[in-house]
Structure formats: structure tokens, C-alpha cells
Chain A
């Protein structure tokens, strides 16, 4: 497969660009949902749904990332080998920005796998590991803006603004919002119907404050 149709349309190149954009959009939505879960701005009743979508979307973004790399491999113009796609810094074209994308992909994979091993590693370690989502998002945005051929000048600024606005706003909300003001404590690993979570519901605000502190 040459990646180019008889009509001269570079299909592999188009798919690579589109898959990269969709993967970044999914990553942005997933990070936003994760921050919504963390800040609990939408209330305790939606936590489970938001967390489920947060988990599902990161895997979907990974699937799109695989498609992005595979399409670049098939593109006859870029001539990226498997090493260039998999190893950071081995790309012949813009190695630093491509390496940023590769590292972001590995971080996304780590985060997605961490959901599966959440019960084996402790909740604290899982939380610490989850902070890697911020560098992953930043690296992916840098990769999209510098290596991406579609996001130049004004388009790139608009794209970055759309992606960054909710993430930055929710990050600041998470940092600045006092913990006692949040509606409920997060569900802990290994606690399906944990009595702590039940006790931390809105019926017992005093105990909730004690648990949050």
C-alpha cells in the first residue's frame, strides 16, 4: 500500500493528520472529565459516570494514536520508519517535537494501564502517577502545534485556546478550591461501596470535613 490513491490524494497523510487531531481532542476531553471528577463540580451523583467516560476516552484516544502512528508509517512522503515512530528523538523530521508526541503517547499508555492496576498499586501511588496527565497533555499540545501542519498561526492559537481553556480553568479550580467545599470525598481504590464514601455524603457534613482534612 503506497498510501496514495490513483487520484493523487494522500490518504495516509490525511488519516495521520485527522487521527492525530481526534486523538488530541479525546485526550483533552478525558483530561477535562478527570478534572471534573477531581474537583467534583458537577456533584457527587455524576462522579461515577464521569469517571467511566474519563477512563473510556483515554483508551479511545490511544486507539486513535495507534492509527496516527500507523498512518505515518504508511505515508510515502514522510518516510518514517518504525524506530522513528516508537523511539523518541529518532525521527528524521523535527525530532524534538516528534519526540514530544511519542513521550506523550507513552504517558497516555501508562495512565490508561494505571486504571487497570489501580487496585494493585495503592491509591496514593495511583494518584501520584495520575499527575503525569498534565505533562502528557502539555507535550501533546506542543506536538500538535509545532509538528502539526494544520495548526499554524491563527488556527493554532484558536486550537490551543479551545483545548487549554477548560483544562487550565479546572486545574486552577482544583488548586484553589478548598477541599472542605467539595461535595464529597473521592471513591477510593478497593472500596466498592465503602463506608467512608457513604459517610462522606451530604448527610454528614461534619464527618466529611474531618475525612477531607
Chain B
């Protein structure tokens, strides 16, 4: 389909150039495709006018294809089009004999589509990565902070006073206090 479209676009391009070629006596039936390589009519206003104007006006399909082709060429930047003359159609012929709109070239419709596709792919990939990063950040910040250690689990020093009035420093380790604290157990009630 793309090839068909390109071929139609090519034929309309060449149709636009036919009025020029007729005037110079070079126009031959079936020579559109050969002549197309030496013209750059899409870059000029006069080429556009001829594209949908005189020679192919009755052919509705050709006109549609011409519009489509023009739309595709809008993807090409002016910088990519190379030297362009504004008024003279004769000067539209590139000096090096090659068109900027050759298929597969830097300014062809397929190149424009490829650029758009790559742009979309890059935007999607970067957005998805940004989404993952934000989700990870939000999930990380959502985690509750580690609970503070209970006072029983912290090692400390206790001053113990003896019966005779002497005091001694006893270091209490917190290792054993990690076990759940049992409730206060009352002494068994003596029988009787």
C-alpha cells in the first residue's frame, strides 16, 4: 500500500512537472518517473499549484493522492529541503540532478513517519520508566519506620544497694528482654 501510495504520489509530482516539460519539448508519455528524479516541485509554490491544478484536475484519485503526498511532505523540515527557489519553477530543478524527496531519503514520507514513530517510542519508554520510579519512591516512603526499641531491651546500668548500705553497679543486658514480658505472677496462696 505504501509503495502504491508512493507511486501515485510520484506520478502526480511528475504530472505537475509536465507543464514545464511540455514547454521545453521534453515531455513524453510515460516519462514521468524518469523525469521526477530531476525535479523538486514540492518545494515550490508553483509546483504545488500545478500538482493539483491543470493537468490532473479531472482525475479525482490523483488529486487525492496529491493531497496525501503533500501532507506527508509536511513532515519534512524546510532545512531538509535544500536550496529552494520561490518563484521560478525552472530553478526548482536541483543543481545536482537529484531530488530531496527521493524515496528513503532524509526527507521522504517514510522517514518522517519513522521519526514520529521513534519519538513516540522514546516518549513512551521514558514515561513508563518515570512511572516506575515514582511508584517505587512512593512505595518506599510509605513503609512505616522501624519501631523504637522498648526500654526493656536497652542495656543499662542499675545501682543496687546492699543490706549493709553499700551500693554496687550492675549492668543489665537487654538481650534477654526481647522475649515477651510475662504478666506478673502472684505467689501461690498458701493453703490453710
Are A and B part of the same complex? Answer: yes
- Residues of chain A touching chain B, judged by Cβ–Cβ distance below 8 Å, are 9, 14-15, 17-19, 21-22, 25-26, 45, 47-48, 52-53, 56-57, 59-60, 63-64, 67, 119, 150, 187, 192-195, 197-199, 201
Question: B residues 60-74 with Cβ under 8 Å of A?
Answer: 70-71, 73-74
> B138 interface residue, CB < 8 Å from A?
yes
- Give bound CA distance, A152 to B79, whole Å: 47
- A193 surroundings in chain B (CB, below 8 A): 42-44, 73, 76, 78, 81, 84
Closest chain A CB from B152 CB (angstroms): 28
Point out the residues of chain B lying under 8 angstroms from A150, CB to CB. 138
Digitize B122-160: 1 where CB-to-A-CB distance is under 8 Å, 0 elsewhere: 011001001100110011001000000000000000000
Interface residue? B115 (CB, 8 A): yes
User: How close is B40's CB to chain A, nearest CB, in angstroms?
Assistant: 9
Of A18, A60, A119, A199, the contact of B134 (CB 8 Å cutoff): A18
The answer for the CA separation of A52 and B114 in the assembled complex, in Å, is 12
Residue from the list B86, B119, B131 in contact with A199, Cβ < 8 A: B86
Q: Which of these, B78, B123, B142, contacts A197 with CB under 8 Å?
A: B78
- B76 lies within 8 A of A18 (CB): no
Whether B116 and A17, one on each chain, are in contact in the complex, defined by CB atoms closer than 8 angstroms, is no
- Asked if B174 lies at the interface with its beta carbon under 8 angstroms from chain A, I say no
B81 in contact with A56 (CB, 8 Å): no
Which residue of A18, A48, A53, A198 contacts B138 across the interface (Cβ within 8 Å)? A18
Contact B135 A60 (CB under 8 A): no
Report yes or no: A192 in contact with B70, Cβ–Cβ below 8 A.
Answer: yes
Sorted nearest first, the 10 A-B pairs with minimum C-beta distance are A18-B134, A192-B74, A48-B77, A18-B135, A60-B123, A195-B45, A193-B43, A195-B86, A56-B119, A192-B73
Distance (whole angstroms) from the CB of A201 to the closest CB of chain B: 8
Contact of B127 among A15, A64, A195, A198 (CB under 8 A): A64
Which residues on the B side are within 8 Å of A119 (C-beta)? 71
Which residues of chain A are within 8 angstroms of B135 by Cβ–Cβ distance? 14-15, 18
Known: A18-B138, A52-B116, A60-B123. A195 touches B44 (CB 8 A): yes
Are the CB atoms of A26 and B127 closer together than 8 Å? yes
Please tell me if B120 contacts chain A, counting CB pairs below 8 Å: yes
Residues on A with beta carbons closer than 8 Å to the beta carbon of B79? 45, 48
